[in-house]
Structure 1
Amino acid sequence: METYKVERYHQENRAEWNTFVMKCMQQHFFFTRDFIEYHKDRFIDYSLIIRNQTNQIVALFPATLNDGVVSSHAGLTFGGLLYKPRTFVQKIIDILSEIERYCLVHDVQKIIYKVTPYIYKTEQGEEDVYALFKNSWQLIRRDLSGVIKIDRQIAADRSRRKNERIALSNDIEIKVCDDFEAFWTMLNDNLTSRHNVTPTHSLEELIYLKSLFPDQIKLIGGFKGGEMLSGALLFLTPNVCKVQYSVNSIEGRKYKVLDAVFMQMIGDCEKEYIDFGHSCEEDGKYLNEGLARFKYQFSGESLVNDFYQKELK
């Protein structure tokens, strides 16, 4: 039987961490240390490296520590164990058990695990989900996202196609751009006035991330007379075009610009999936039906993002 050793991540592991991330079944640029560490001052990093008997990395666990609780990294939407394709399920069960033992010995009270949805994987790869069940973890949260599978016929709702025509008939231009300041200002104004919150990322952080990942972060804007009225910030992975943020200004709502932005995004998408993001609040207990329906009308389907926990003490 193969045995495993768990250790905390340290800066000297940076290169081998990033090298292993590129080989994992779970594919997203935000698993790299460059992304994880752009906001390192907000969290206590508790990322774990799992090695085999020959000291080779077999899995990674991006994580943070807060008040005795280790969680799949609090700065990432999802995560969990990162491992290579074609990893046998018993291996993942054993690795998860070893992480539990390591955390228990180091006085961790609880572990929270955010499952990576299958669309972000190079194969179906739900070995970790079975391992969580096998090791008696508890499902504590389920968010519902809207996704589009690009390799089938996409038929957006008639109202969305009508809104696109309204936008285009009013000389709205949809294009890729780098006007992050205009987009962020519009986003911040919208979130502040309607929900009394601010964007998760500051303008400076978005510009910095774009400089780090120029091919993975893209901004699409809807313009009238050179003024941005709407936009969508996209995170691109090998399989997925993820809508990280989207916004309509007051004028944008008047001309139905966001509908036109999304319709062009769908038409131009070269990925296997589009992920519109979740439509839930209150840890998944409240479904924003209007938002979910909006995504559904672009020919969206449902995808769940699951959160599990294990009480250790």
Structure 2
Amino acid sequence: MKQDFKIRKYSLSDKTLWDSFAAQCMQQHFFFQRSFMEYHKERFTDASLIVEDMNDNIVALFPASVKDNTVSSHAGLTFGGLLYKKRTFVQKIVTILSLIERYYQELGIEKITYKVMPYIYKSEQGEEDLYALYRNEWKLVRRDFSTIIKKDTPFIPDRSRRKNNTIALNSGVQILPSNDLSTFWELLNSNLQSKHSVKPTHSLAELQFLMQLFPDNIKLIGGFEDGEMLSGALLFLTPNVCKIQYSVNSLRGREFKVLDAIFLSIINDNQLPYIDFGHSSENDGKYLNGGLSKFKFYFNGEASVCDFYEKDLTANL
């Protein structure tokens, strides 16, 4: 049988090749650049793969990490899966996924988790991998619920959102870009600690480092009263999507409804096809935070999901 592709493990010497190919892929996100994937490399054991044709040309990438004989694509990223160029024929993806399964299986890996990339982050519909997962008998094990806003849909926010925006602006609050990550992170950390007894996923130092690495992709918007930040939203920007990665209201910010004003400002100023409000589900998608999802819904939000699949590699041994 003719062999069309070969697989090898990513190494540090491949960084330039990886970054160049990732930038050309249909799946567009700056966190597939190795500098982002490796900023927290001490937390994850990398298991990323490079897929080549028989002439050593890269045809696909598989960002991945491994823990306890389980490979994830990638545990340090919101989503991942196979990265490949536009107009890639579906049969190639079916074949490549099979080869990836076999590669890990021969290394003794027992299970792979595949995080499907939502279509809004792609430069074309690009669901070849979804079909390949079905063909290869992967199992859907998790579905996170998200809310998105489409640029080409008339924006008609709920009356209460408009009222809250008026309250904020009439209170003299200014909505401005900011570089004050320290104040924002302290507000965020305090809020998460008091409500959920957890810290932000990213430390302050990590966010500052990432913002230096990707200044065009990570932006902070704040709501200020006399120069004091009351609320804020940290944005991750890709070619298609403005993702609200973190947002927070201080006690005074809640009093003046500042976060509503920030969100309306982001929506009105946005020039990208989509805004991603992020997940409103917890416990691997089994619990829906109804209040949070309704809050986003009232900004004219629409439903979107992020799916997780698993393949048990021991079943075919």
Normalised-by-shorter TM-score class: over 0.9
CA RMSD after TM alignment: 0.6
1:215 aligns with 2:249: no
| 1:233-290 residue CA offsets vs partner (Å, 9 max, x unmatched) | 0000000000000000010000000000000000000100000001000000000000
Partner of 1:156: 157
Q: TM-score, normalised to structure 1's length?
A: 0.99
**Distance in 2 between residues matched to 1:184 and 1:302, nearest whole Å:** 28
Unaligned runs of 5+ in 1: none
Question: Percent of aligned pairs with the same residue?
Answer: 61
Unaligned runs of 5+ in 2: none
**Distance in 2 between residues matched to 1:48 and 1:157, nearest whole Å:** 46
**Distance in 2 between residues matched to 1:112 and 1:169, nearest whole Å:** 49
Partner of 1:111: 112
| 1:155-177 residue CA offsets vs partner (Å, 9 max, x unmatched) | 00000000000000000000001
| 1:210-242 residue CA offsets vs partner (Å, 9 max, x unmatched) | 000000000000001111000000000000000
Partner of 1:133: 134
Runs of 4 or more above 2 Å deviation? none
**Distance in 1 between residues matched to 2:7 and 2:103, nearest whole Å:** 7
| 1:38-71 residue CA offsets vs partner (Å, 9 max, x unmatched) | 0000000000111111111100000000000000
TM-aligned CA deviation for residue 2 of structure 1? 5.3
| 1:168-224 residue CA offsets vs partner (Å, 9 max, x unmatched) | 000000000100000000000000001000000000000000000000000000001
**Distance in 1 between residues matched to 2:202 and 2:278, nearest whole Å:** 16
Question: The residue matched to 2:39 in structure 1 has which SS?
Answer: helix
1:10 aligns with 2:17: no
Question: The residue matched to 1:204 in structure 2 has which SS?
Answer: helix
Partner of 2:170: 169
Question: The residue matched to 1:38 in structure 2 has which SS?
Answer: coil
Partner of 1:203: 204
Partner of 1:287: 288
TM-aligned CA deviation for residue 6 of structure 1? 1.1
Question: The residue matched to 1:124 in structure 2 has which SS?
Answer: coil
Partner of 2:247: 246
**Distance in 2 between residues matched to 1:286 and 1:149, nearest whole Å:** 25
| 1:72-116 residue CA offsets vs partner (Å, 9 max, x unmatched) | 111100010000000000000000000000011000000000000
